Amino acid sequence: MKQREFPSNNYSALFNPKTGQTLRFAIDPDKEIKPLEFPEILDISLGTICFGNCPYCYASSSATGVFYTDVVGKINRWFGSMDENQRPFQVAIGGEGEPTLHPEFIDALSAFKRLDIMPNYTTSGMFVNERMLHATKEYCGGVAVSCHKHLKRYWDGALYGFRHLGIRVNFHIIIGEENSVEYFYRLYEEYKNEIDYFVLLPYQAVGRAAKVNVEKEFTNLFTSLKERPVKNVAFGALFYDFIRKNEKICGNLDIAIYEPESLSGYVKMNTENLRILKSSYNPIPKF
């Protein structure tokens, strides 16, 4: 078990590397945990290159993007300068492009592991090969698979490799477009015995994503969850406002919520002077 504690933020936490689970405690239970200067998990972007060609990509990643350079050096210099309490429990590599394309990808996983920071990553599965599978098994806590409909043949094949090696896998499913809730339930029924968590992410009209009226699908999701016996479902931070504003729809669901990005942050490896940003959806300075 690993522990972090920031008394001025009323925050204490224990992290179990074997399960990837974090237990958080308010030091004073009568007060809220304040946003952390050094978050417990950070999203890491290695670049903007991706060949998925998703029309709703919030980061506008494309085949003409860029790889950020010297990412291993930056990891060692920046995270290496932190003390053990400041270092995050975990990082999630993704954020903009497809991380497995980056020439330093496996070395980056190894660098985080040497610093006692658990690396994880998000992938479409398009470029996952045998070498990456074994590096994932050696270094990572788990993998998030982006379940885009038009890329199913790729991520379904990668899923077989991950599960064959006993790697923990979460599904990332975007909710907001028409029939997206139905799509989630189809995936749930097909893969519920193979997936650790189904992480539902709200559609965001940023980047390449066109404006969509998401209220119907959001309402459909939370209404149907009261009637469908699903488990191991988690929600993206940007569902926070909808959950708080729609108590009649969401109030009877057992959902633990935190202020968005209060315990997490986002780091782009595009400069020597790294800094923690608010999120990959809205990359403005946080601290």
User: Is residue 119's pLDDT more than 90?
Assistant: yes
- Ranges 86-95, 100-109, 152-161, 204-213: which has the least confidence: 204-213
- The whole-angstrom separation of Cα 228 and Cα 185 is 9
pLDDT band at 283 (very low <50, low <70, confident <90, very high): low
- Ranges 36-40, 142-146, 204-208: which has the least confidence: 204-208
Expressed as residue numbers, the domain containing 104 is 35-268
Is the Cβ–Cβ distance between 220 and 250 less than 8 Å? no
Phi, psi of 17 (to 5 degrees): -60, -25
DSSP type of residue 171: E
Instruction: Give the number of other Cβ atoms within 10 Å of residue 21's Cβ.
Output: 10
Q: What is the mean pLDDT of residues 103-121?
A: 98
The proportion of the chain whose per-residue pLDDT surpasses 70, expressed as a percent, equals 95
Q: What is the pLDDT of residue 118?
A: 97
- The whole-angstrom separation of Cα 59 and Cα 90 is 22
For residue 14, CA distances in Å to 89, 113, 128, 200 come to 9, 18, 32, 25
- Answer whether residue 177 is part of any domain: yes
Whether pTM exceeds 0.85: yes
- In this predicted model, what pLDDT tens digit does every residue of 199-230 receive, in sequence order? 999 998 888 989 999 999 999 999 999 888 88
Q: What is the pLDDT of residue 236?
A: 86
- Answer whether residue 74 is part of any domain: yes
In terms of phi and psi (left: phi > 0; alpha: psi -120 to 50; beta: otherwise), the region of 75 is: alpha
The pair of three-digit structure tokens given for residue 234, joined into one six-digit string: 């988690």
Nearest to 164 by CA among 126, 131, 122, 194: 194
In sequence order, the 6+-apart residues with CB closer than 8 A to the CB of 272 are: 74
User: Is residue 18's pLDDT more than 80?
Assistant: yes
- Answer whether residue 135 is part of any domain: yes
- Ranges 34-38, 53-57, 142-146, 275-279: which has the least confidence: 275-279
The pair of three-digit structure tokens given for residue 132, joined into one six-digit string: 């990456």
pLDDT band at 247 (very low <50, low <70, confident <90, very high): confident
Is the Cβ–Cβ distance between 26 and 50 less than 8 Å? no
- Answer whether residue 49 is part of any domain: yes
For residue 214, CA distances in Å to 37, 121, 133, 201, 210 come to 32, 27, 36, 12, 11
- Answer whether residue 279 is part of any domain: no
- Answer whether residue 275 is part of any domain: no
Residue keyed to tokens 């109030």: 251
- Ranges 19-23, 108-112, 261-265, 283-287: which has the least confidence: 283-287
Hey, CA dihedral for 41, 268, 283, 10, is it positive or negative?
A: positive
Q: How many structural domains compose the chain?
A: 1
CATH of the domain at 121: 3.20.20.70
- What SS3 class is residue 85? coil
Q: What is the pLDDT of residue 286?
A: 58
Q: What is the pLDDT of residue 13?
A: 96
Is the Cβ–Cβ distance between 74 and 268 less than 8 Å? no
- Answer whether residue 6 is part of any domain: no
- Answer whether residue 285 is part of any domain: no
The proportion of the chain whose per-residue pLDDT surpasses 90, expressed as a percent, equals 78
Mean per-residue pLDDT of the chain: 92
